[in-house]
Amino acid sequence: MAHIHRVGGSSPSAATKLNLGRKTMKDKVEVKKITTPQEAAQLLRQIAEEVEKGKIKIEQVEIDLPANFECELKYKVKEDKKEFEIEFTWRS
């Protein structure tokens, strides 16, 4: 089950994390949940289709993508936790 929390702000930030979590703060939307590899793959396919169309939707927030932006892939290991992130960044 996903947990949703919203605090202030209604517009997404230029750097929007697209990971498997759901947490909203001022100008930030994250989506977090326990998932299987198959469910994660389906989510990535959905995101890929949205990126090709130039608009991503996270919860109720629609994000218009610019023609060009930075795409960063991160892998981190912190003690007993491993993390993989996909991040798109651009200036407005």
Per-residue confidence band for 15, with pLDDT thresholds at 50, 70 and 90: very low
Where exactly are the structural domains of the chain?
Answer: 16-66
Per-chain mean pLDDT for the chain: 80
Q: SS3 for the chain, per residue?
A: CCCCCCCCCCCCCCCEECCCEEEEECCEEEEECCCCHHHHHHHHHHHHHHHHHCEEEECCEEEECCCCCEEEEEEEEECCEEEEEEEEECCC
Where is mean pLDDT largest: 14-18, 30-34, 85-89? 85-89
Is the pLDDT reported for residue 49 higher than 60? yes
